[in-house]
Chains A and B, each alone.
Chain A
Amino acid sequence: MANPNGIGASVRRREDQRFLTGRGNYTDDFKRPNMTHAVHVRSPYAHARILGIDFTDALAMPGVVAVLTGADMEADKVGSLPCGWQIHSKDGSPMKEPPHYPLARDRVRYVGDAVAVVIAETREQARDAAEMVVVDYEELPAVGSSTRAVAGGAPLVHDDAPDNVCYDWHLGDQAAVDAAFANAAHIARIDLVNQRLVPNAMEPRAAMGEYDQSNGEYTLTTTSQNPHVTRLLMGAFVLGIPEHKLRVVAPDVGGGFGSKIFHYGEEAVVTWAARKVGRPVKWTADRSESFLTDAHGRDHVSHAELAMDADGNFLALRVSTLANLGAYLSTFAPSIPTYLYATLLAGQYKTPAIYAEVKAVFTNTSPVDAYRGAGRPEACYLIERLVDVAAGVMGMDKTEIRRRNFVPKEAMPYQTPVALQYDTGDFAKNLDIALPLVDYPGFQQRRAESKARGKQRGIGFATYIEACGIAPSNVAGALGARAGLYECAEVRFHPTGSVTVFTGSHSHGQGHETTFAQIVADRFGIPIENVEIVHGDTNKIPFGMGTYGSRSLAVGGSALVKAMDKVERKAKKIAAHMLEAAETDIEVKDGRFTVAGTDKSLGIGDIALQAYVPHNFPLDELEPGLDEQAFYDPKNFTYPNGCHVCEVEIDPDTGVTTIVSFAAVDDFGNVINPLIVEGQVHGGLVQGIGQALYENCVYDEESGQLVTGSYMDYCMPRADDVPSFTVRYHEDQPCTHNPLGVKGCGEAGTIGAAAAVMNAVVDALSEYGVTHMDMPATPEKVWRVIRDATPAPAPAMAAE
């Protein structure tokens, strides 16, 4: 009998109880005796020299405990925020890696760059005093966009990065691609922008530092997706604190989407400051501060070409991308437009030759790093827009050109020309499910019916694949990662049969407290209420790389399975002893250990009790206890894939685009909790739709001022901006290389959605001769495109 709370069940979440009753524990909720509040003084200029900082008046303000600057950090030998991934350029030289200090020392390089911190009894007092800090800036010329950064004569963000280039990298076979283009019957071309976005998790970042003078231990409570990573980076590279003296706690975290992966300067500031002032120090960003200082996402400018033969078979793809990294290297920034982007340029297609070059540049803007999808949305958007252009060049139906070029299921495992090997996938099946689901044959009639109502209707497809379940350490290391990407789990049975699981994964909305418990309940046949999942505290959990890159089930869940395997092996030995049988005669099913062919049987609970009350225990063969730990390093990435279909109606008079339907058909391998998986898809879809129609993080090119600095100017998708969705998935292609057979689902919605929406928008505008427009397709932009394309009516005859 299947466990009603086991794998495959839509178990309702246990964490909801505290979230729904206002008893979540987010970092800003914490209070400590004698706690102080920190407010950062930040540069209002995109680029300036710091000539001096006068904080005499600030120090005299009521409640102020201290004002600390970069000079104080330098005197205490505080280091630079490290970068976790090294990229080499085409010529073999390593990327430029300028220092990145938690508090700027002699120069500021983006609006928001922190120069000092004011610590006071209350937040209001700290704010008031921060306004009294006088920084003498010498303003310098700034560069606010990647295209300007590489234009001749642009100001230098870092003196030792000529032309503002961090690296100039490539991947693929340029000679094979050039040869294919020379013989191509048709070529499709596109220039496109994948615009900068602000992740905007609803909880602003926060950090609280504490120092215990009695034992020399530091504690950092922070809004992080990966507390162990933060502990390692901050302890080893920035503050020189050995790990056994540094505890990092990531409590309830209100969303991350990648922006809370990185080790930020504020974390180091509050930890260091707590020792200096001898009191806990808490900092919480306000939203404007988040806009300025959270790592941003995307910001690619690309040119791409697709060579085809006379029948529309793809022969080769060449891509050239300019990637904006911002003013400093955020923790994983260099890897996003390289190994998480270019390696996905095959898409679902069997294009035999691919060559991509990526130039990454510094600008006087906020650092750019991973944001939901991290490189894969950029790849999917480029390919799927280009394939639609190719369909136009060939005069082929957009689904047919895709189907013709899909990697067939029979070709799996498939080695792409861009390093990755796909393990499983049935791309044609996703399309076969999607087309009747959206009534594709009926589209032309719907288009005519919309037209009769004065509206332009379009349909757009995005057949995406992505690589997640990050990552096999040996691959990542060979490609420049400075860390392994395994995961850890400990399964601790208690004497009376309940279980605590310690996982290095971190839940900031994904529901691990429920889904991981389902996996344990399913394996051992115990009630789910008896399983507790603990995450987020480096003092409690052996080690972990955290949650991002859709890795929690694929990697964290696999570590959990390995630990459960170890528990089961030991339990079998104990059972054999208790049942007076040979170990080889013990059969295990749903947590019951039975002597084969008999009804002599024990539940895991009985075994656990014996293990902890070992009055009759084979002590010469086994230690007491039932508590096992495992590390799991993936053998490969996992490859979720799917087909997104979007149908839009555009009002030509207003330029407003309405999504009339959106369907997502996905392959996530095995599904542990359907309700949670669908929720992840919905959220991802809206972020992709947000990019396509609403969001845009804009800097003034010349001054480097952030123009879209709040929700007033940065349009977040709201409930009435998006529709309800049709979500389907199939489990016919489980992942072949992890024990759960899961592929991960956290980012897939974001990866396909923007391309599907823009393909639909361009399709809707095709009647006006439009073949491309850049995101976001705001009403004003769409209205202008229509106006510029529509010939003006002939002037009326002049009166005699």
Chain B
Amino acid sequence: MSCTVSMTVNGKTVSREVEERTLLVAFLREHLGLTGTHVGCDTSQCGACVVHVDGRSVKSCTTLAVQANGAEVTTIEGLAAADGTLHPMQAAFREHHGLQCGFCTPGMVMSAVDLVRDIPNPTEAEIREGLEGNICRCTGYHNIVKAVKAGADAMAGAQPAPVAAE
């Protein structure tokens, strides 16, 4: 009925004994006290629970904690730099008012970061389609799209200049 799961969360190795049926989102929220990841639905559609597992965005409400055994997990709490400097995507959401009540925001930002890693210079249509799995009830998406575009530009600008081949 219970087992031990171990993983790295936001750079820290953690190990806990949990019921086998424990969802990753419950592991994060209840066992690790990382309440930034939210539960917004029970049909895996709203995206409020999105985190990164081994670099890919994943709906943590539809993942068992045991499935993340041995993985590198990043939650919204782990996105900003150690000194508190916001990730360019976080900063872009603030600059463009891409959030209101904040409840969908952690999942939205995590999805956006992964989207931009896949498509570094996304068009409006690509952003809207890429965020199809994240529901927001407050913003109407207009400013979220602007924020993701600006975040993508900032993330591209933050890339170190490519080293010329020898």
Contacts and interface: CB of A to CB of B under 8 A. Distances in A.
Interface in A646-693: 675-676, 678-679, 681-687
B64 interface: no
A26 B39 CA distance: 11
A304 interface: no
A253 B101 contact: yes
Given A710-B41, A720-B129, A510 B100 contact: yes
A711 B142 contact: no
Contacts of A252: 101-102
22 contacts: A12-B95, A13-B97, A15-B102, A21-B77, A22-B34, A29-B29, A202-B40, A202-B135, A202-B137, A253-B101, A288-B42, A678-B97, A679-B139, A682-B142, A683-B138, A686-B141, A687-B137, A711-B135, A712-B43, A716-B137, A719-B129, A719-B131
Interface string A447-461: 000000000000000
Interface string B109-134: 10000000000000011011101101
A201 B138 CA distance: 8
A516 to B, nearest CB: 16
A625 interface: no
Provide the main secondary structure of the chain B interface: loop
Nearest to A200: B137
A304 B7 CA distance: 63
Nearest to A15: B102
A286 interface: yes
Contacts of B102: 15-16, 18-20, 24, 252, 254, 509
Contacts of A16: 93-94, 99, 102
B85 to A, nearest CB: 11
Nearest to B93: A20
B104 interface: yes
Contact of A19 (B77, B99, B142): B99
Contact of B94 (A12, A204, A287, A678): A12
Interface in A184-232: 200-204
Given A13-B97, A719-B132, A682 B45 contact: no
Contacts of A28: 35, 39
B143 interface: yes
B77 A255 contact: no
A217 B34 CA distance: 30
Contact of B77 (A22, A253, A685): A22
A20 B101 contact: no
Contacts of A615: none
A206 to B, nearest CB: 10
Nearest to B131: A719
A22 B100 contact: no
Contacts of A718: 131-132, 134-135, 141
A679 B103 contact: no
Nearest to A21: B80
Nearest to A510: B100
Interface string B82-95: 00001000100111
Contact of A676 (B34, B80, B97, B136): B97
Contacts, number: 173
B141 A203 contact: no
B52 interface: no
Q: Which of B21, B139, B140 has the most CB of A within 10 A?
A: B140
A202 B48 contact: yes
A225 to B, nearest CB: 11
Contacts of B21: 124
Given A22-B77, A202-B135, 20 more contacts: A13-B97, A16-B93, A24-B36, A24-B103, A124-B19, A201-B103, A202-B40, A202-B136, A255-B103, A255-B137, A255-B138, A286-B42, A287-B41, A678-B97, A679-B138, A679-B139, A682-B139, A684-B140, A687-B137, A711-B46
9 tightest Cβ-Cβ pairs between the two chains A and B:
A22-B36, A254-B103, A19-B102, A509-B101, A682-B140, A509-B100, A686-B140, A22-B76, A29-B35
A257 B103 CA distance: 14
B81 to A, nearest CB: 11
A724 B136 CA distance: 15
A20 B86 contact: yes
A720 B125 CA distance: 7
B49 to A, nearest CB: 11
B106 A22 contact: yes
Interface string B11-34: 000000001010000000100011
A101 B41 CA distance: 27
Contact of B97 (A675, A712, A716): A675
A254 B43 CA distance: 19
Q: Which of A18, A19, A712 has the most CB of B within 10 A?
A: A19
B99 A20 contact: yes
Contacts of A716: 46, 135, 137
A508 interface: yes
A22 B42 contact: no
A28 B37 CA distance: 11
Size bin of chain B's contact surface = 35 or more
Size bin of chain A's contact surface = 35 or more
B90 to A, nearest CB: 4
Contacts of B57: none
A783 interface: no
A598 to B, nearest CB: 44
Interface string A708-727: 00111000101110101100
A84 interface: no
Q: Which of B42, B46, B80, B138 has the most CB of A within 10 A?
A: B138
A495 interface: no
Contact of A20 (B39, B105, B134): B105
A511 interface: yes
Contacts of B38: 26, 202-203, 254
A20 B135 contact: no
Nearest to A25: B35
A13 B132 CA distance: 26
Q: Which of A23, A511, A676, A683 has the most CB of B within 10 A?
A: A683
A546 to B, nearest CB: 15
B41 A20 contact: no
Contacts of B66: none
B40 A287 contact: yes
Contact of B101 (A17, A254, A686): A254
A203 B102 CA distance: 9
Nearest to A685: B140
Nearest to B142: A682
Contact of B75 (A12, A22, A710): A22
Interface in A298-340: none
Given A203-B38, A682-B143, A711-B135, A508 B105 contact: no
Given A254-B38, A682-B143, A683-B140, A719 B101 contact: no
B90 A202 contact: no
A718 B127 CA distance: 12
A12 B90 CA distance: 13
Given A12-B94, A201-B137, A202-B137, A21 B76 contact: yes
Interface string A700-740: 00000000001110001011101011000000000000000
A389 B120 CA distance: 48
Given A679-B139, A711-B135, A203 B103 contact: yes
B37 A725 contact: no
Interface in A276-306: 286-288
A710 B29 CA distance: 23
Contacts of B131: 718-720
A200 B101 CA distance: 13
Interface in B59-81: 75-77, 79-80
A679 to B, nearest CB: 5
